[in-house]
Structure 1
Amino acid sequence: MRRPAWHRTAAALLALAAVVEALARYVASDVTGGPFLVLVGALAVASTAPLAAVRRPTAAALVVTAAVVVALAGFRLWTVAGLAGALAAAYLVGRAGALVVAVALGLPYLVLAFVTPVAVLLAGLVPLCALAGVALRVSRADAAHLAARDAFAGTLVEHTARGERARIARELHDVVAHHISMISVQAENARLTTPGLPAAGAERFAAIGGTARAALTEMRRLLGVLRSDAPAAPERAPQPGLRELAALLDEARSASGAGTRLILRGPPVPLDPGVELAAYRIVQEALTNARRHAPGAAVDVELTYAADGVCLRIRDNGPGAAADPSAAGGHGLHGMRERAAAVGGRLRTGVAGAAGGFVVEATLPVPDQEVR
């Protein structure tokens, strides 16, 4: 990966500053001679220019340290840029180089502390810079480890959820779908093979078969959602709402043979799709409970629109307390309460009154922005 150009620019500027400062010190000293001038310039460059090789921080740190140590030990010569180069090299090797070298960089300056006071300063600051680089390395490693752990945990949760969905899909396909398909087949066989079957009975068997086939279709959609490895996208259909209540009551009337009425009150109010779906499912479950616990009882479904919401009242004229679905250990009432609460509404169930019957009353709100 290509490093940013500012590393090379900084190293070049430090090298230039070190050379200028070294030449100034040379001019001010009593030492003369061309070879000494070349050596001073070379040590100034060697104490700073290797910092440009950030891809090899260990080698760069060794070269810089060697140049600074030679300049201090052999000529008592040092530059501010060279000292900065030594500190920067210690930081770089601590951040991305060999840790053994990072620990040992300060040792030569401890030996030179008896020769020049500048070495005492370097003996204290070089280990600190190396430690700062090591701290940054550890921090980055911890961050990478945490990111990897979070990614692994997320993958594990997703894999577990996918496996659980696949298990549920297999159970639905192998057990529930099989039984529903058997209901459809047996209803069709009964319609075709029962001698002397009245026309009304044949229609009932046909309705049973049609309902079973519709349930299989819905289950296939559900299986397509549950199984993430489905070869094709599942068939999708709009969620039902209050406009489908008439068809729902017609289906219930055909299945039970009892009277079922839909009573509307008030001008229709625009509702959120989630509220309409909750209302439809509550009516659907209440009709199912009435057929199951009060067979043959007439059912009235009252839908009342108000400015602040919609009220549902589903009442049958069955035996009342004896037809309470909760007495049979069912979960329908609990599911209806959850649907009402999910959209901010409430639901009440109980005996309709002294005349008997069971009633389900739900009040579902209308969002403020939709009230007209």
Structure 2
Amino acid sequence: MTFTSRFSLSRFSTARFSTARFSLSRFSTAGFSSTTVSALGTLVVGVLLWASGAFTLIPELGGHSTPVTAAILVVGFVAQIVAPRRPAAALAVAVVLVVLDLPSGVSLPLWISLTDIVFVTVTVGAPRLRRVVAVGCGLVTVVAAAVVALAVDPRTGVLVGLLGVAFLISPLGYAQSVNATVRAATAERAAAQAERTIALVDERRRVSRELHDTVAGHVSAIAILAEVARDADDPQPAVASIRANSLAALAELREMIDVLAADGDEAVTVRWSSLAPLLAAARAVGSQVVVRGEPDRWPLRAETVLTRIAGEALTNATRHAPGEKVTVELAVDDRFAEVTITNRVGPESTVGPGNLPGAGPWVSGRGVHNMKIRAESVGGSATVGPEGDRWVVRARVPREAR
């Protein structure tokens, strides 16, 4: 058999085997790992080449005896099995065998094993080892082709170069593709984890706002009303208001628990009428509360946001300026819905224990922040602060709140 025909056979065998090897490597069969499957495939191909008389690429150089041929197949098989755990050692063994085998005619199964070991080394090896293997494979291919072209003839040099590409450069390309896929998958998982973390943080903040707005307002009102009931000649109005705020807090907590337990992206929604217990609490501590405007034409989401903001403002006024007049004004036009809560800053006004030091009355570190976050979450805005002798909370959101 001529060198050219042997080269054609080797290309056919290598291409067919490579396709089978890379396909089989994706699966496990009867408990075998992909490495074992690949090594067994190489062993089977080697036996078939041996039986067909195509074991060596250049039989004119003498080939091997039967024991040596069997030893080559066994050592190549073992090197492939070891390669994923000891890539450097397996590669060193394969290279030594290839060099020792060259004078005897180039054993094709040994080169197929080398191809697989190069692939595994570049896939699982350390970065430095990968670079060494890549440079080495490129140099061996170019130098071997050049030497044979000068020593024999250019045509044979080209064929040797193509063999180098088939057995050394191709597995490098496959390995780089696998590495790129692994890096992309790792980056995708990292991005998904980051998105999940952000989503969890956002959800915790949302739950925190809901709990603050659901519980804090009513509980604060209950505490204030308990003080009023203790000192009042007639505690019945305060007691009734305590009961109303307790029931309202329980109802809103149940609704929130139902939403959190449900599937989907449901949101806690409240209507303007849910402010009734807070309005009653403000009146029970002696404040005159005036409500102007009608919420009938409000979209539900805008109504929910502005109700929460108004509830926080009423709670702060009840807590820090009891007995002062409170005005709640509603305004709705074709584009915006707005609520303004105003109360006079009286001489007995205080800064609550959870407020920001030096920031002035009612500037709660969490409550005021939540007001602004709620308004901004639907594309609106909220301002909180003193205007003369009054404290004003003003929130404005689009009617079609996003």
Instruction: Tell me the TM-score range normalised by the shorter chain.
Output: 0.5 to 0.7
Q: Secondary structure at the match of 2:324?
A: coil
Shift of 1:290: 1.0
1:248 matched to which residue of 2? 275
Structure 2 partner of 1:296: 323
Q: Aligned residue for 1:262? A: 291
Q: 1:286 to 1:67 in 2, by over 3 A?
A: same
The yes-or-no answer on 1:310 pairing with 2:332 is no
Distance 1:341 1:134 in 2: 53
Contact 2:298–2:332 (CA under 8 A) maintained in structure 1: no
In structure 2, the residue corresponding to 1:137 is in which secondary structure?
A: helix
* Counterpart mapping for 1:92-171 below 5 A: 97-99=116-118, 114-115=151-152, 117-129=154-166, 130-148=168-186, 150-151=188-189, 154=192
Tell me the C-alpha RMSD between the 2 structures.
5.7
Q: 2:242 aligns with which of 208, 226, 236?
A: 208
Identity %: 22
**Could you list the runs of 5+ residues in structure 1 that have no partner in the other structure?**
1-35, 75-88, 227-231
In structure 1, what is the Cα distance between the partners aligned to 2:113 and 2:203? 49
State the SS of the aligned residue for 1:55: helix
What is the Cα deviation at residue 134 of structure 1?
A: 0.9
The one-letter code sitting in structure 2 at the alignment partner of 1:201 is P
Q: TM-score, normalised by structure 1?
A: 0.55
1:150 Cα shift? 4.8
Counterpart position of 1:336: 371
Question: Is contact 2:241-2:277 (8 Å) kept?
Answer: no
Work out the CA distance in 1 between the residues paired with 2:115 and 2:243. Answer: 73
Distance in structure 1 (CA, Å) of the matches to 2:176 and 2:249: 59
1:205 aligned partner, one-letter code? V
2:90 is matched with which residue? none
CA distance in 1, matches of 2:298, 2:114: 63
Alpha carbons of 1:140 and 1:158: their partners in 2 closer, same or farther (altered >3 Å)? same
Name structure 2 gaps, 5 residues minimum: 22-40, 63-107, 121-132
Q: Residues 109, 294 of structure 1: CA spacing in aligned structure 2 closer, same or farther, 3 A cutoff? A: closer
Name 2:20's counterpart in structure 1: 55
Q: 1:297 to 1:184 in 2, by over 3 A?
A: closer
**What do the CA deviations read for 1:299-325 (whole angstroms, capped 9, x no partner)?**
221111122212222122452895688
TM value normalised by structure 2 = 0.51
Query: Contact conserved, 1:240 with 1:280, CA < 8 A, in 2?
Result: no
Distance in 2, matches of 1:126 and 1:302, equals 86
Q: Does 1:348 align with 2:367?
A: no
Is contact 1:93-1:99 (8 Å) kept? no
- State the partner residue of 2:81: none
Asked if 2 retains the 8 angstrom alpha-carbon contact of 1:106 and 1:122, the reply is: no
Residue 47 of structure 1: how far off its partner (Å):
3.9
In 2, Cα distance between equivalents of 1:148 and 1:216: 46
1:58–1:208 Cα change, 3 Å:
same
**Quick one: structure 1 residues 108 and 67, their matched pair in 2 at CA, closer, same or farther if it must change by over 3 Å?**
farther
Q: Which residue of 2 aligns with 1:366?
A: 399
Letter in 2 for 1:55: A
The corresponding residue for 1:24 is: none
| 2:268 partner letter | Q
Output aligned runs, 1:6-21, within 5 Å.
none
**Cα distance in structure 2, aligned partners of 1:139 and 1:352:** 66
Change in 2 beyond 3 A, CA 1:249/1:44? closer
Once the two structures are TM-superposed, the CA of residue 52 in structure 1 deviates from its matched residue by 2.7
Distance 2:297 2:347 in 1: 32
